[in-house]
Structure 1
């Protein structure tokens, strides 16, 4: 029996998992506090002015409860802090602490090195083409009728 070819979403998910595994293992090997993939994703969704948990959840594509759990775990680790949102008395803004900012910079540098490893394996032209293709706005998701 022939195994069906993996579709593009499966391939993208596997590639993301490869980067996540490399990043988290590299950070642990460097002596950083272990975090989950979901906790690491919080940092990618933060903006410089601070971000509400609701905005983090929307950006990450998870429930507010899931984002809240990740944020509070990171607060407990000393990587994030929360402060009142001047625009809303009911909201709190989430920001990295100085330690969280340091760890995030290290993670960004680590990802650049991991991307370099990928370029060595598949070629820098392939990585550049992949980056270019993935940065083109795909537009609204299509509604299709497949046979």
Structure 2
């Protein structure tokens, strides 16, 4: 069987890995403690006021157990904390600590540099167009029925 051209989800996944690899390597080189891709994804999906572990799991597309492990690793590093949810006595919210805020700001600065590198490689216009296309509303996922 001949190698088929990669489909769009594969290409998007490879692009995501490129950013993840660059970010994690840059943060390690800057002296930050290493985190996993799942742990970095937690930071990318946290709400300012805090987010439940179940919601984090949904947003990053992993099981609740995987999200729980990532969160508790970050709590152990002093980057996140659990606080009671004021809207519910049964749930707890995950939010960043002051140290987590510092690391998150540094990661955001690193991502800006990584985007600049991408713009150098594929062109500033290409990078702007990629951002524009990815931020267009896609609507709900289609209900596809394959025979």
Distance in 2, matches of 1:54 and 1:7, equals 30
* Cα separation, 2, equivalents of 1:84 and 1:144: 40
Residues 67-78 of structure 1 aligned to structure 2 (within 5 Å): 67-78=67-78
- Tell me the distance in 2 between the aligned counterparts of 1:80 and 1:146: 43
Partner of 2:7: 7
List alignment gaps of at least 5 residues for structure 2.
Answer: none
Question: Residue in 2 aligned with 1:121?
Answer: 121
Q: CA RMSD in A?
A: 1.3
Equivalent in the alignment of 1:52: 52
Give the TM-score taking structure 2 as reference length.
Answer: 0.95
* 1:45 CA displacement: 1.0
Instruction: Establish whether residue 66 from structure 1 lines up as the match of residue 66 from structure 2.
Output: yes
CA distance, structure 2, for counterparts of residue 20 and residue 4 of structure 1 = 25
* Aligned length, in residue pairs: 147
Structure 1 partner of 2:16 = 16
Question: Residues 144 and 92 from structure 1, CA distance in 2 versus in 1: closer, same or farther, beyond 3 angstroms?
Answer: closer
Q: Separation in 1 of the partners of 2:23 and 2:87?
A: 35
Deviation of 1:88 after TM superposition, in Å, equals 1.1
Report the TM-score, using the length of structure 1 for normalisation: 0.95
Partner Cα separation in structure 1 for residue 119 and residue 146 of structure 2: 36
